[in-house]
Each structure stands twice: as structure tokens, then as C-alpha cells.
Homo-oligomer: A and B are copies of this chain.
Amino acid sequence: MPFEITILGSNSALPTSDRYPTAQVVNLLGRFFLLDCGEGTQIQLRRNKIGFSKIKHIFISHLHGDHYYGLIGLISTMNLLGIKTDLHIYAPSEIKNLIQPQLDFIKGEMTVNPIFHPLDFKKPRQIFADKKVEVLSFPVKHSISTCGFLIHELPREANIRRDMIEAYKIPVAKVREIKAGADFVTPDGDLIPNERLTWPPFQPRQYAFCTDTAFYPPIAEVVQNVDILYHEATFLNDMREYAAKTLHSTTTDAAEMAKLTHAKKLLIGHFSARYHNLTPFENEAREIFENTEIAREGKTYTILSERETRS
């Protein structure tokens, strides 16, 4: 029941010799979501041994180059590998015009079929859903139109207790309705209440991705009680004026957002190229929100399900 976030890049726009621009892969129950696609994403995917054919959904927060310049290279490589797939790209609508000429130039050889889904910057929207998983986009506050993303499991049915199935000899045909909330009546006419037959459903797991953005309280209207909040912290606190001017966040902004959204854990990233040592970021944020970690490239952060936690 994987819910894993692998950081491919956690740097801001200017390149450094040892950090890549923003990109991360979320594996939720076998669905691989790529969040942002800065230059070098395909190399980082290779380094982290994530197969290109797994990527079918790409979410681009905004159109500053450090969040999308790796997209054409990734698509081109998927093509060279002969991967036949629809590739859903959830991004600001302008992205199509920006990369279509390059896509057209490789056309005729295209095995990948990019499908563009424009983001809405006015209000939160469901942008992906299947039986088990949902992705929402929501506006954040940056110098150009930018969305955050909330990736979560959908609420599940209750877990039926195997010991009760045996004790009351519940027929298989009844299991589905009990899971959905029904009581059970025994052949003798005794009513066994649902609460006795089931364990409460596992809490759906949630991950939120907020970059690039200033501190923006409306985020908390969508993001609540997430297991991990990824929030940009481009600058340390002594740069707070410059952060405000460029509509980026400081460590304190990120930590305050973790408090406001009642996150269980805060991951910070999108570090300015001026910083080599990232420890001060962790220290500053932890003064406000203890469970903070630096988003380290090549590291995978796992959200365990309650079942896994219990076992």
C-alpha cells in the first residue's frame, strides 16, 4: 500500500552544482504522479531507478522555467524508448503553446500522446480521480498563476472483522453490505450491530505540495491534517522582506503553514542557490514546527497506512 514521495529536485531557479530544480515523484498505490518537471528531471528519474513508463500523470504548478523546462526532454525520451501511452499533463493552459512547436518537430515519431488539462487558478478543483485516489489543485500566491496540489486516498469502507465472520458464520454474500455499514441478522433473528462486526476504516492518507508561494492562509481551507505538507522555503528568515517581494516563503512561513493546516510533518524545499548548508533551514523551521525535514534529493519519504503502522 505504498504512499511514497521521492524528491528529484529541491532547488530554486538558479542552478547549483549539487541540487536540481523542482521535481518529485509520488507513488500512491502504484499510481506514479510527477510533480513539476525542472531541467534534469529525466536524469534524476534514471538515477532514482524510476521507470519512465510508469509516469502517466504530470502536474506542473506554474510556468517559471525551473518547474517545466525538463518536460520536453522527458517526453522526447519516452518517445525514443517507444513508450506507447497517453500522458496527462495538468498545467497552466499556456504550456501547450510553449512546447507544442518542439512536440511537432519530433512528430511522426511520436509514441507518447500528451493530453493537456488546464489548471484553474480561481478555486480548488478535482483534477484527477479514480476508485481509490483523488488529486485536487488549489490556487497559491506567487508572481504568476500557480497551483498547489493535494494528493490523497479516498475514504475507504470499514474493515470487516474476520473473527466476527467466523463467530456469526456470516455468509460471503453479506460481507459487502456490512462493509458499507449494514448490521447483520443471525438465522436466530438476533441483530448484530455494524460497530461490532467491523473495524473503523483506515484514515485516508494525504500529501500536499505547495510551491512556489508566499504564506497564503487560504491554502488551509483545502489542506488540513495532511500526513506530509511539502512547502517551499526559498529563504531563511533574515531574507523575509525579499521573500515577500518575490512572493516566496521563508522557513517561518512554511512552519506557520504547517501549524495552520495541522500537518503531521513538514517537508521544506525550493532552496535559493545562495545557500550551500541547509541545516539552518531545518533549525529555523523547527522552532515553530518541530516535525520538519529538509527535502533531500534522492530521498524517499513514506506515509505508512494505519494497517502498516499497526503491524
Chain A residues with CB under 8 Å of chain B are 13-17, 20, 39-40, 42-43, 46-47, 63, 65, 69-70, 72-73, 76-77, 80-81, 94, 97-102, 105-106
CB within 8 A of A15: which of B14, B20, B43, B97? B43
CB atoms of B105 and A13 under 8 A apart: no
Q: When chains A and B are docked, how far (Å) is the Cα of A60 from the Cα of B69?
A: 18
Q: When chains A and B are docked, how far (Å) is the Cα of A43 from the Cα of B41?
A: 12
CB within 8 A of A81: which of B14, B20, B101? B14
CB atoms of A17 and B39 under 8 A apart: no
CB within 8 A of A13: which of B16, B69, B77? B77
Q: How many copies does the complex hold?
A: 2
Q: In the complex, what residue of chain B is closest to A76 when comparing beta carbons?
A: B65
CB within 8 A of A105: which of B47, B73, B98? B98
Q: When chains A and B are docked, how far (Å) is the Cα of A39 from the Cα of B106?
A: 16
- Closest beta carbon of chain B to A149's beta carbon, Å: 22
CB atoms of B40 and A43 under 8 A apart: yes
A13 CB contacts on chain B under 8 angstroms: 76-77, 80
Interface centre among A15, A65, A106 (most CB of B within 10 A): A15
Contacts beyond the supplied A63-B105, A98-B101, A98-B105: 15 A-B pairs with Cβ under 8 Å? A13-B77, A13-B80, A15-B46, A15-B73, A15-B77, A17-B43, A17-B46, A39-B39, A40-B40, A40-B43, A65-B106, A69-B72, A97-B101, A98-B102, A101-B101
Q: Provided the pairs A40-B39, A94-B105 are in contact, do residues A72 and B65 lie with their beta carbons within 8 angstroms?
A: yes
CB atoms of A42 and B15 under 8 A apart: yes
- Closest beta carbon of chain B to A282's beta carbon, Å: 24
Q: In the complex, what residue of chain B is closest to A11 when comparing beta carbons?
A: B43
Q: When chains A and B are docked, how far (Å) is the Cα of A46 from the Cα of B73?
A: 20
Q: In the complex, what residue of chain B is closest to A100 when comparing beta carbons?
A: B101
Q: When chains A and B are docked, how far (Å) is the Cα of A106 from the Cα of B73?
A: 20
Q: When chains A and B are docked, how far (Å) is the Cα of A65 from the Cα of B76?
A: 7
Q: When chains A and B are docked, how far (Å) is the Cα of A80 from the Cα of B66?
A: 11
A16 CB contacts on chain B under 8 angstroms: 43, 46
Q: In the complex, what residue of chain B is closest to A16 when comparing beta carbons?
A: B46
Q: When chains A and B are docked, how far (Å) is the Cα of A186 from the Cα of B300?
A: 83
Q: When chains A and B are docked, how far (Å) is the Cα of A76 from the Cα of B101?
A: 18
A47 CB contacts on chain B under 8 angstroms: 17
CB atoms of B65 and A69 under 8 A apart: no
Q: In the complex, what residue of chain B is closest to A49 when comparing beta carbons?
A: B17
Q: When chains A and B are docked, how far (Å) is the Cα of A63 from the Cα of B104?
A: 12
Q: When chains A and B are docked, how far (Å) is the Cα of A69 from the Cα of B47?
A: 19
3 closest A-B pairs (Cβ-Cβ)?
Answer: A17-B47, A65-B76, A39-B73
A46 CB contacts on chain B under 8 angstroms: 15-17
Q: When chains A and B are docked, how far (Å) is the Cα of A10 from the Cα of B258?
A: 44
- Closest beta carbon of chain B to A279's beta carbon, Å: 22
> What are 29 A-B residue pairs whose CB atoms fall within 8 Å in the complex?
A13-B76, A13-B80, A14-B77, A14-B81, A15-B42, A15-B43, A16-B43, A16-B46, A17-B43, A17-B46, A17-B47, A20-B43, A39-B39, A39-B40, A39-B42, A39-B70, A39-B73, A40-B40, A63-B105, A65-B76, A65-B102, A69-B69, A69-B72, A69-B73, A69-B76, A97-B101, A98-B105, A99-B102, A101-B101
